[in-house]
Amino acid sequence: MRSFTLPPTPTVAVVGLGYVGSCIAGTLADRGTRVVGVDTDPDLIAEFSAGRCRFQEEGLADLIAEQVASGKLRVSTDYSEVAAADVVLLTVGTPVNPDGSLADGQLRSACSELARYVRPGQLLVLKSTVPPGTTRHTVLPLLEESGLTGGEDFALAFTPERLAEGTALRDLRSLAIVVGGLDQHSAQITAGFWRAALDAEVIVLDTLEAAEIVKLADNWWIDLNIALANELARFCALYDVDVLDVIGAANTLPKGNGNVNILLPSIGVGGSCLTKDPWMVWHSARQRDLEIHTAPAGRRVNEAMPGYTAKLILDELAALGLDPAEAKIAVLGLAFKNNTGDLRATPTKGTVAALAKSGADVRIYDPLVDTDQAEALFGIRPTATLEEAVRDANCLAVLALHQELAGIDFGALPVARDCLVLDGRAYYSKEKIASLRQLGYRYRGVGR
């Protein structure tokens, strides 16, 4: 193994300037690193160059605009830019096919391009979420088409990206960074890079595969834990028990390194990661003749929640003697996560579709989402105002509680009598529920 060191202030290329890549590129530039971001999407690069940012993440648009203006962050569609960088971070998209296998087109084409420009002394780090073995068996051979040898001429490592949408920029500065290297030198040089660049705690694991599995384990756990919360909610509903009371009390039990930690139930799980990574686990295991049961079980439970939520609404309206065809339902909050405008794999889609199928008059409203995008996804144009959505409504289905929706004055809304408030992810307090009832509303939550 040939050993080399990075310069004291290494320059960085981020390949794939999507949601994750732009958060990383902006953060590194803000901390003083010279960064070039490369993406194949010319519109995205033009937007960044003009100081605009299509990703809704608190602080990201300003961060990118500032760093581009300062010149510390440059953006380009030209791959040859990576040749000058000391460190190349690979953050392209890694969706899965319907059978759970990796749709590796972005990754393969990025690596093939990189092979044209990789040079001795460079460190290449894959950050995209991938099945175990991908860095070693897909990325490495493609990079070695350059004629250079991984571990000899260039260092190669895998570092999972574990940031969460909504807290991404904070996460990047606070989460421990996991590193797996092709060899010891690759791991060491990568750990040193992250410590210096982000002042982060670094956890070095023995292999590339161990680091790849860490990311999958995190998302497998989160999705499965939410599935537990969702089934617990449905279980509690059988006994007229408030699931939040149960979770609060259950979570006081010390276990392992902390307490039992059941997450919150909701109308379901969305976003691009939790909906695919468990399938990546399941498919990878199958390729090696291991049948994993928990990952698909979690997925199925969570995928059933939008339909369950719609049924909750329709059952409550039926109890009021309302035929769905006569019902007006206002869905407030469409994004998959509170305080974002992100519609990727949003579970609200399934709820809205089931409600619309019942014949109800469904209006949708979300102050944070792009109106055209929402119309394309839901087949219903969102109303411009809250008032328009809720006029004469028999149900207000609060499916995402953005700050703008948290302050709603329910007493002032022009809704129908006995209007139902369906709490899909607002987690209203008992006091709030009592005050809603005093105002004449009925209340139902997932497991409440």
Ligand X SMILES: NC(=O)c1ccc[n+]([C@@H]2O[C@H](COP(=O)([O-])OP(=O)(O)OC[C@H]3O[C@@H](n4cnc5c(N)ncnc54)[C@H](O)[C@@H]3O)[C@@H](O)[C@H]2O)c1
Interacting residue ranges for ligand X, rule: CB under 6 A: 15-21, 38-41, 44, 91-94, 106, 109-110, 128-129, 161, 163, 165, 272-273
The minimum distance between CB 41 and ligand X, in angstroms, equals: 4
Between 38 and 426, whose beta carbon lies closer to ligand X?
A: 38
Q: Is 270:346 a contact under the CB 8 Å cutoff? A: yes
Between 91 and 138, whose beta carbon lies closer to ligand X?
A: 91
The minimum distance between CB 141 and ligand X, in angstroms, equals: 17
Instruction: Spell out the SS3 assignment of 71-89.
Output: CCEEEECCHHHHHHCCEEE
The minimum distance between CB 165 and ligand X, in angstroms, equals: 5
The minimum distance between CB 11 and ligand X, in angstroms, equals: 18
Per-position b or e across 166-186, b if 16+ CB within 10 A of its CB: bebbebbeebebbbbbbbebb
The minimum distance between CB 419 and ligand X, in angstroms, equals: 35
Coil/strand/helix, residue 444: strand
Phi, psi of 201, deg, nearest 5 = -75, 135
Between 50 and 249, whose beta carbon lies closer to ligand X?
A: 50
Radius of gyration (Cα) for the chain, nearest Å?
24
Q: What's the CA gap between 247 and 244, in Å, rounded?
A: 5
Coil/strand/helix, residue 13: strand
Tell me the DSSP string of 384-408.
SSHHHHHTT-SEEEE-S--HHHHT-
The minimum distance between CB 23 and ligand X, in angstroms, equals: 8
Dihedral sign, CA of 338, 340, 343, 345? negative
Between 97 and 385, whose beta carbon lies closer to ligand X?
A: 97
Between 335 and 362, whose beta carbon lies closer to ligand X?
A: 335
Angle between helix axes 348-357 and 371-378 (nearest 10 degrees) is: 50
The minimum distance between CB 113 and ligand X, in angstroms, equals: 6
β-pairing, 254-255 vs 202-205, is: unpaired
Coil/strand/helix, residue 37: strand
Q: Closest residue (Cβ) to ligand X?
A: 18
Q: What's the CA gap between 298 and 309, in Å, rounded?
A: 17
Between 191 and 222, whose beta carbon lies closer to ligand X?
A: 222
Side by side, which strands form the sheet with 361-365?
Answer: 361-365, 328-332, 395-398, 420-423, 442-445
Q: Where are the beta strands (DSSP E) in 263-384?
A: 328-332, 361-365
Between 90 and 313, whose beta carbon lies closer to ligand X?
A: 90
Tokens 């919360």, residue located: 229
Between 110 and 125, whose beta carbon lies closer to ligand X?
A: 110
Q: Is 58:27 a contact under the CB 8 Å cutoff? A: no
The minimum distance between CB 356 and ligand X, in angstroms, equals: 28
The minimum distance between CB 112 and ligand X, in angstroms, equals: 8
CA distances from residue 183 to 10, 143, 152, 157, 268 in whole angstroms, order as listed: 20, 16, 10, 8, 40
Coil/strand/helix, residue 240: coil
Between 57 and 231, whose beta carbon lies closer to ligand X?
A: 57
The minimum distance between CB 219 and ligand X, in angstroms, equals: 8
Between 56 and 351, whose beta carbon lies closer to ligand X?
A: 56
Q: What's the CA gap between 213 and 220, in Å, rounded?
A: 10
The minimum distance between CB 70 and ligand X, in angstroms, equals: 22
CA distances from residue 432 to 1, 387, 435 in whole angstroms, order as listed: 65, 21, 5
Between 15 and 237, whose beta carbon lies closer to ligand X?
A: 15
